Amino acid sequence: MLRITQAELSNSKKMIAKLNKAKNFDLSDAGELIRRMMIKTIDDNRVRDKKSASERLNGKYTKHISEVIDVVVTRDGVAVANQATLDREVPYWALINNGGVIDMKGKKIHGFFSDGSPGAGGITASFKPGPGAPLNVDMSPIAPMNYIEKTGFWVKNNIWKYVVRAMFND
């Protein structure tokens, strides 16, 4: 198993130097590297800080995307992140990647913020649905993170050669 540190992952020159020396870089190493890069891309592009993001839509989803991204090595290649698992565990993955609006046009949610304010709460306040003042749903679009595309470009630009080599070495 090839060990690439987080610092090497951020510095492609150092990482490639290590890959060039590696004798046994196989598809599972490649998959693990791509998985880590995808998680790093998501973390680097976070909009909410980790503390306030820990509640994850008021506890509706208990997992973060980074916990669900897995690697499957098959006879034909390597696959990172299973779409069926993502759809089941973290259905918001596509919205974060592609951007867009949550489909609640014209609807109002009733509830209150945990700091007691009826309107938009402070940064640390979380929204609790239930009896309370109606809240207008924010209609501004979520900016796309494009973590799938960014990881794809990273693979093509940095480790594609090594992935192909690993595919044919087996």
Partner 1 sequence: MNFSKTRNVELSIIDAIETAVNASWTGVTTVKAFAQAYAVKVPVLCVRMLSIDSKRREIGGNTLYQEFSFIIDIFAKSDGQRIDLEDFIVNTIKNGFTYYQYSRDSGQTETLSKTANGRIQWLRIDSDNRIDSGSSEDEHERYRQSITFTVTKG
Q: Give the footprint of partner 1 on this chain (CB under 8 A).
A: 94-95, 98-101, 103, 105-106, 140-141, 143-144, 146, 149-150, 152-154, 156-157
Closer by beta carbon to partner 1, 112 or else 154: 154
- Give min distance, CB of 144 to partner 1, in A: 6
Paired tokens of 89 = 């565990």
Closer by beta carbon to partner 1, 8 or else 55: 8
* Angle 58-62-66 from CA coordinates, rounded to 5°: 120
- Give min distance, CB of 100 to partner 1, in A: 6
- Give min distance, CB of 116 to partner 1, in A: 31
- Give min distance, CB of 98 to partner 1, in A: 5
**Residue 51 and residue 56: Cα distance in Å, rounded?**
10
- Give min distance, CB of 147 to partner 1, in A: 11
Closer by beta carbon to partner 1, 68 or else 94: 94
Closer by beta carbon to partner 1, 107 or else 110: 107
Q: DSSP string spanning the chain?
A: -----HHHHH-HHHHHHHHHH-S---HHHHHHHHHHHHHHHHHHT-SS-HHHHTTHHHHT----HHHH--EEE-SS-EEES-HHHHHHH-TTHHHHHH-B--S-TT-EEEEEETTS-SSS--TT--EEEEEEEEEEPP-SPBPP--HHHHHHHHIIIIIHHHHHHHHHH-
Closer by beta carbon to partner 1, 102 or else 133: 102
